[in-house]
Amino acid sequence: MTIVEESGTAAAEAAGWTKDTLVLWRAPGCRTCAGTGEQGRVALHEMLAVFDFPDPNLSIGGRTVSTLSTQALYMMNSPLVMDQARSAAQQVLEATQPGGQSLDDNGRIMLLYQRALQRPPSEAEWSDVRHGLEVAHTIGRFDIGQSVVIRQGTVVAVEGIEGTDATIRRAGSLVRGDFVVVKVCKPTQDRRFDLPAIGAQTVQAMCEAGARVLAVEAGRTVMLDREAMIAAADAADVSIVAVEAGTP
């Protein structure tokens, strides 16, 4: 699903595909497994055999050879992978900058990196971001805090004197992850020297708590150790977005 998505040939979310609903192959099943095809010891798909899946028909103490070479050959010669790679490459070659100019090689590499390793928020997450911005701006007028945590339209936590990272961890103790963190600049803050800050520690707190999205205000947020923060977010599949200041 990821290969097809990133190549631009299909939008999995628009088609209603998820990691839970998209099934590429399933054994026919039997009476023992109630037709699920998940409890038998046979019918191992060739892709699973190539990608180091244990053979259920053999009892061995440990693998004696590596399957990395066969995995690489399988991917390099897969018609699906080659078609999607060509599609992704064509889109990158045709991509332009906001002013209409073609991207240089560095720009194309960065675009490929973003498409392969980063993810935009889902529509549900964007809805929580918009709600969080409204709540954060409201409490900011009372000089309460900079951050709020939203999950499925519900305010889970509001930042107090403990700070953003502690607020995120508190939210993680209240709900089972999958929430959005929104951090804004309060109207009472002097933007000449007092701006909200995020960094690798913020993302670490989000990972520990199970947060999925961090939304901040563009032009009103200080990013500490930007490269480390982005690397940590990419590794944890956390989306970081900057919205225009004052966006409702």
- Please name the residues in contact with 11: beta carbons below 8 A apart, sequence gap of 6 or more: 5
Predicted local confidence at residue 244, as pLDDT: 84
pTM: predicted TM-score of the whole model, two decimal places:
0.60
Tokens of 21: 């609903």
H-only helix segments in 101-192: 105-117, 123-140, 164-174
- Provide the terminal-to-terminal Cα distance of the chain, rounded to the nearest Å: 33
Model confidence pLDDT, tens digit, residues 19-77:
555 555 555 666 666 666 555 455 555 556 666 555 656 666 666 666 677 777 877 88
Q: Which two tokens stand for residue 9?
A: 């040939």
CATH 3.40.140.80 domain residues, the chain: 123-243
Angle at 112 between CA 128 and CA 217, to 5 degrees: 30
pLDDT at 85 over 60: yes
Instruction: Quote the CA–CA distance of 91 and 104 in Å, as a whole number.
Output: 14
Provide the pLDDT for residue 202: 95
Residue 150 confidence (pLDDT) above 80? yes
Query: Quick check: helix, strand or coil at residue 136?
Result: helix
Identify the CATH number of the domain defined by range 123-243. Answer: 3.40.140.80
Residues near 195 by beta carbon (within 8 Å), at least 6 away in sequence: 185, 189, 220, 221, 222
Query: According to the model, what pLDDT value does residue 231 have?
Result: 87
The token pair that represents 54 in the structure block: 């244990």
The 239-243 sheet, strands edge to edge: 154-158, 147-151, 179-183, 211-217, 239-243
CA distances (Å), 126 to each of 146, 150, 224, 233, 239, in order? Answer: 19, 11, 24, 17, 11
- At 194, the amino acid letter reads D
Could you list the beta-strand ranges (E) of the chain.
147-151, 154-158, 179-183, 197-199, 211-217, 222-224, 239-243
How far CA 151 is from CA of 79, 119, 205, 213, in Å, comes to: 41, 19, 16, 11
| pLDDT for the residue 79 | 83
> What distance in Å separates the CA atoms of residue 246 and residue 248, rounded to the nearest whole number?
6
